[in-house]
Structure 1
Amino acid sequence: MTQSTNKKSIILGVIGLVLVAFGTVLVFLVPVIVDQQVEQNVRIDPSSGFAFEMWRDLPVPFYMSIYIFEVVNHKEMVLGEKPRVRERGPYVYREYKQKINLTFHDNGTVSFIEKRLFFFAPDLSAGTEEDYLVVPNILVLASSIMMEDLSLPLKWIISGAFATFGNEAFMNRTVKEILWGYEDPFLNFLNTFLPGKLPFKDKFGLFADFNDSDTGLFTINTGMEDITKVQMIDTWNGLKKVNFWNSNVTNMINGTAGQMWPPFRKPSEDLEFYSPDACRTLKFVYSKKAEFRGIPTYRYNAPNYLFANGTDYPPNEGFCPCLASGVQNMSACRFNAPMFLSFPHFYNADPGYVNAVDGLHPSEEEHSLFLDLHPITGIPMNCTIRMQLSIFTKAVNGITQTGKIAPVILPVLWFGESGYLDGAVYNTYYNTLILLPTLLEYLQYILIALGLLFILLALLLPFAKQNPKAVPQDPHRNGNSEPCSEDAKLLEDPEHGSPET
């Protein structure tokens, strides 16, 4: 082995060892780098760049699709016939959310109010806001049940007021009026009998208090001191728990505000969030591994017992009085109005609810809830929240407008609130929290593989076969490969004879 070969072997070996060492260091260093990158970007820190801006202004496109149940046999229903409904919609609204009045506190929390605005999206809708639909007149049907225990003479007066103001059990109004409100002088009259019981004064609409409104004052953990608590609610409107329900468990304000969760999630950990609109903590449970546009996710669904009654799921006893499983009585947080919350079309509910109303077709694909979460960061990639609002209707003695309406939970509308990561936000998120860690992970194995290859070459180089030295040529051979070829030819020439024996 020459000195040159020895030198090359040593150089290759040193390079190989350096690459293997660097790759091995990355094996232990990459998880630390990824964790630090994640923690830096999911903390609620004004200096954290895009993550903070995303959390504050929520540039993710959100849409609320509303489906209204038109009652197609309202006259027959007043006579006691089974209700028959027809789903109309969707009427789609672009939803914008922005957090305002941010106040950071010394205990590692931040308070904010989230404003929300809705704008009709005609190109995504199956109809216009000017569509007329026949729907339950909640002012008549709900207030009739709320005043059921009044004396008969008072109910006669109320029934007369209904007639005077032209209010019947069902009304024919535009989608815009049904959702966002219409002026009704009957409200002023009603408020004299139910002072402080109704949140409406001169205008009534199912979502009248949604647009250009907020969901209350949230105070949540910033994660600056403990990343495992980031986004977790400290208080809502200054409260650690609400007082709508009948047990400590059901009154507890748990989880986050529903937009992000602490990072490094495990399948065994449920996703909880407090919904002011539902007046309670809701829960998602792990379903399976999934993927959203190249990003690995965990898929979570609402559990079957979310709206179960206390008999089928004892922890829900605090939400009672309950009916059969599948609907939640919302009267305690809706001014005692007989309103109920469920999955659309009574999906996952007792079959009795579906059988009591013609025109319902529950489907897991169309009416279930899901959320695809990136488990490393705790940020949702794609989600759809679907809920149905229903009213309990029945005939009330003394209120002639209710006629012979049979007792039934009548669907009014259901809505799906959906959003997904897209555009520049998706690109920034993907490059920072997905692509970079992936490249670092691949880099560590590439370096180790190259290093081992260099070491192998360094070991084999000394044993490589050398080229043999060239054999010197005989000047008399004239380039021929056979020796004495000319002499041989002379001996074989017949003119010279044979060689002597």
Structure 2
Amino acid sequence: MGSRARARRAAAMLGFLGLLCAVLGAVMIVMVPTLIKQQVLKNVRIDPSSLSFNMWKEIPVPFYLSVYFFDVVNPSAVLLGEKPQVRERGPYVYREFRHKSNITFNDNDTVSFLEYRSFQFQPDRSHGLESDYIVMPNILVLGAAMMMENKPMSLKLIMTLAFSTLGERAFMNRTVGEIMWGYEDPLVHLVNKYLPNMFPFKGKFGLFAELNNSNSGLFTVFTGVKDFSRIHLVDKWNGLSKVKYWHSDQCNMINGTSGQMWAPFMTPETSLEFYSPEACRSMNLVYKETGVFEGIPTYRFVAPSTLFANGSIYPPNEGFCPCLESGIQNISTCRFNAPLFLSHPHFYNADPMLAEAVLGLHPNPEEHSLFLDVHPVTGIPMNCSVKLQLSLYVKAIKGIGFSRLFCPSGFPLNRKLGKKKKLNPGKSKSLKMETHPTGILKCDSSLCGRNILSPDIPFCFALFPCRIVALPRYNSHTVTLTLFKRTTR
């Protein structure tokens, strides 16, 4: 009898424990997503007390900027009216250092800051040196010639005489370092003396000279402390709620974030909007697919085919005109009226006649498309490949002698292999979340600096030096985390 009673008590105890586990499991399934959401909301906002603040202030992973130049193979033939032929040189890779300063919290739930950046050449990552010579269009000469198109003939003749006297040519042979960071040119001094408002710079001229040891303007963004629905959205840039470069209110709007973080809890219907000071406009990326980056699920966002479309193809872009063929954006209004155009590399996703006008261009989506991989729960970018091309539009200008046989074309100058950054293995591991069949949360205490939920709850948030090795499903998809990219192998 005694053994039977003990067996019944043991069975009852096991049954009770089973019921308790079932109840606790049900509670965990209900409570854990809520706890996750609460802690994400608490720790991704811009607040000195949040655990992500230092990461926002100074992003803890390296940026790399890869630049390719289009070396003109046949400059003499171009002057005789033939198609330009180019060969791509590079990449020339630069480590970009960024840090925010002048951080000021305002009463309207916003924070203002300047983000400074500097660049350092990385010869071990580059295919070439800064001392390499590149033959490319003389941007100052050809740009000045295009700006003379509607000027009086007398002024054109004076400009032509100045070109000849100063020994200026339509094409130049300069080093990568000079093209990037600046070179002395007598034309700059002459123009600044007699036409002081024509060029916005003094002394040296370089494609990236204004970017080095500089900031991209004063951003004021919402912190999300009082109103989380507006977190990271830009309130003003340089004190402006909209820019004045374009010809429509829609194109002048400053939309989205500053391009570093977005609101958490994304869905496939979410789009990524951000304002780019370099492009002088807001841009919008659209969801393409779900993916995995180093074991971490992500949403991939890509540029829509209409990003650089002209107004005839996509009417909302009419405000960016005057336009040429679809697929290149005229940025002359925010680049001292020089005939500069922005596009995808090799005129990918543009009117085919643009690539056909220049020999040596081979657009393809694998190499030249733009994408951004973002962790949907936190809104943090993990893998970024922003690829853009800068081109100079040239054509024959009556009264400018050397241009008389030019064929109208968009002359590609260089392309940036975006700014990619990638987490190192340690940080990537700290972000990784995996689904465990039981839904039980475990924390590797050797990796955790602190528990951000509660000392009593065995949970670690992957934005920080912790690892979640088990996690139940959240909103019908596996939760995992993310940061930015640039190949660092």
Answer yes or no: same fold by TM over 0.5. Answer: yes
Please name the residue that 2:222 is paired with. Answer: 221
CA RMSD of aligned residues (A): 1.6
Distance in 2 of aligned mates of 1:425 and 1:437:
13
Identity across matched positions, percent: 54
Contact 1:215 1:276 in 2 (8 A): yes
**Secondary structure in structure 2 of the residue aligned to 1:204:** coil
1:436 and 1:119, CA in 2 relative to 1: closer, same or farther beyond 3 A? closer
Instruction: Tell me the distance in 1 between the aligned counterparts of 2:9 and 2:37.
Output: 42
SS in 2 for 1:420: coil
Q: How many residues align?
A: 441
**Paired residues of 1:38 and 1:433 also in contact (CA < 8 A):** no
Within the candidate set 17, 41, 44, 1:42 is matched to 44
CA contact (8 A) 1:67 1:89 kept: yes
Residues 319-361 of structure 1, C-alpha deviation per residue, up to 9 Å, x if partnerless? Answer: 1111121000111111111100000000000011011111101
- For the pair 1:14 / 2:16, whether they are aligned, the reply is yes
Give the aligned residue type for 1:14: F
Q: What's the counterpart of residue 433 of structure 1?
A: 462
- 1:138-173 per-position Cα deviation (integer Å, ceiling 9, x unaligned): 111001111222222222221121122221111110
Shift of 1:176: 0.5
Matched residues in 1 for 2:296 and 2:248: separation?
Answer: 40
Shift of 1:244: 0.6
Secondary structure (helix, strand or coil) at the match of 2:60 reads coil
Aligned 1:35-434 pairs, distance under 5 A: 35-49=37-51, 51-416=52-417, 417-430=419-432, 432-433=461-462
Separation in 2 of the partners of 1:323 and 1:253? 24
Assess if the C-alpha contact under 8 Å between 1:37 and 1:433 holds in 2. Answer: no
Matches of 2:340 and 2:80 in 1, distance apart? 22
Give, in angstroms, the shift of residue 227 of structure 1.
Answer: 2.3
Checking the alignment, whether the CA contact within 8 Å between 1:298 and 1:375 is kept in structure 2 is yes
The code of the aligned residue for 2:213 comes to D
Quick check: 1:59–1:425 contact (8 Å CA) kept in 2? no
Residue aligned with 2:30, SS: helix
Structure-2 separation of matches of 1:94 and 1:349: 30
Change (3 A) 1:425 1:98: farther
- 1:399 Cα deviation from its structure 2 partner: 2.1
Give distance in 1, aligned partners of 2:292 and 2:209. 37
The one-letter code of the counterpart of 2:300 is R
| C-alpha distance in 1 between matches for 2:133 and 2:380 | 40
Structure with the greater alpha carbon radius of gyration: 1
- Does the residue aligned with 2:297 lie in a helix, a strand or coil? strand
On the 8 A contact 2:142/2:170 being kept in 1, the answer is yes
1:106-134 CA distance string (max 9 Å, x none): 21111101111111111111110000111
Q: Distance in 2 between matches of 1:54 and 1:392?
A: 41
Correspondence for 1:28 among 27, 30, 50: 30
Query: Letter of the aligned partner of 2:386 in structure 1?
Result: I
Q: Please state whether the residue corresponding to 2:124 is helix, strand or coil.
A: helix
C-alpha separation in 1, matches of 2:283 and 2:470: 37
Question: Partners in 1 of 2:267 and 2:227 — Cα distance?
Answer: 18
For the Cα contact (< 8 Å) 2:287–2:302, is it kept in 1?
A: yes
Question: Which is further off, 409-418 or 430-439?
Answer: 430-439
Runs of 5+ consecutive residues of structure 2 not aligned to the other structure? 433-459, 474-489
Deviation of 1:36 (Å): 1.6
Q: C-alpha separation between the residues in 2 aligned to 1:28 and 1:293?
A: 29
Paired with 1:210 and 1:202, the residues of 2 have a C-alpha distance of 15
1:361 partner SS:
coil
Deviation larger for 272-281 or 35-44: 35-44
Which protein is richer in helix relative to its size? Answer: 1
Q: 2:7 aligns with which of 5, 28, 48?
A: 5
SS in 2 for 1:173: strand
Instruction: Tell me the TM-score normalised to structure 1 length.
Output: 0.85
> Deviation at 1:428?
3.7
Residue 437 to residue 128, structure 1, CA distance change in 2 (3 Å)? closer
For structure 1, the residue ranges without an aligned partner over 5 or more in a row are 443-501
The alignment's TM-score, normalised by the length of structure 2, stands at: 0.87
